[in-house]
Structure 1
């Protein structure tokens, strides 16, 4: 193997050439990430995602095609990294520019009420929202004060004050397990498969009437847990 074949490329590049290329690319990307800072690793927002995809495509091809020179892709990757760093730094220093390239946090639950218009805007389904809440130990929607869709696509949860610090264990209480809340009504539609485990449609309408709701179609989300705890979020009035 010629000395610089790993750099200039060759159709008959031996395995050692690919190994050297892999080492160079790894060190290069490692140094690039260190220079850009931890933000690119710890928070995957749309800008970071685009950067990762483009860099991976640029430096990945020379690792699979030995006949391509290595200098050009590395130079291109360096230019993309510099551009990414410039955008990130500008967004950090200029709030107006930050709003252009970064999404603002989006409130999807406000004061315990689900804002289904915001869910539609963010293209988040009820199933996805409930999954994210369960992952954050907030399966009981009655305990949620605010839920915010962050710029990196994750949902953060702020519980009501009464549900934050003091727990039943601290009070030497032994509450019943609430279990898995069943979705009974979703976007005005009754989930009959879940309802039949609890009661009839007439029973549901009667219980809703007791809680001030005449029509199930007025409900955006209704869940009932194993302790008969209800959560009701009515549809927003247009």
Structure 2
């Protein structure tokens, strides 16, 4: 992912924005994301994540909440930690679990329910 984003000159914030426009908030559900010649990004979810309309499933759904970026391109987004009710000690604990440092992380996001998305920085990009 990192190498392809670099080639297309799309940063992690832009990718997250493009995916949100497509209605995608959980990066781990994306099987493919294709940068079209028009500049738009088309996304294809893994089949198990393809949505079934709520009315067909007969369920009530709550509103969607967006993930918060914690680390992007090796930089800690300190201003986002209060949005999660977290502090730098929490980030350090996560990094300890992944056995890495902030500068080793390409992207770390947290869902409101605490689910994390982690992508390590490629060694040739660090």
Indicate whether the TM-score tops 0.5: yes
1:124 aligns with 2:26: no
Task: Output one character per residue of 1:68-126: Cα deviation in whole Å (capped at 9) or x when no partner.
Answer: xxxxxxxxxxxxxxxxxxxxxxxxxxxxxxxxxxxxxxxxxxxxxxx222212111122
User: 2:88 maps to what in 1?
Assistant: 201
Does structure 2 conserve the Cα–Cα contact (< 8 Å) formed by 1:223 and 1:230?
Answer: yes
Residue among 158, 180, 192 paired with 2:66: 180
Q: 1:174 to 1:237 in 2, by over 3 A?
A: farther
Q: 1:233 to 1:184 in 2, by over 3 A?
A: same
User: 1:231 maps to what in 2?
Assistant: 117
User: 2:77 maps to what in 1?
Assistant: 191
Answer with 1 or 2: which has the greater Rg: 1
| Runs of 4+ residues deviating >2 angstroms | 165-178, 207-210
In the superposition, the TM-score normalised over structure 1's length comes to 0.46
Structure in which a larger fraction of residues adopt strand: 2
Give the length in aligned residue pairs. Answer: 123
Q: 1:235 to 1:176 in 2, by over 3 A?
A: farther
User: 1:162 maps to what in 2?
Assistant: 48
In 1, Cα distance between equivalents of 2:2 and 2:101: 18
- Runs of 5+ in structure 2 lacking a partner? none
Structure in which a larger fraction of residues adopt helix: 1
- Runs of 5+ in structure 1 lacking a partner? 1-114
In the superposition, the TM-score normalised over structure 2's length comes to 0.81
Task: Output one character per residue of 1:23-59: Cα deviation in whole Å (capped at 9) or x when no partner.
Answer: xxxxxxxxxxxxxxxxxxxxxxxxxxxxxxxxxxxxx
In 2, Cα distance between equivalents of 1:188 and 1:195: 15
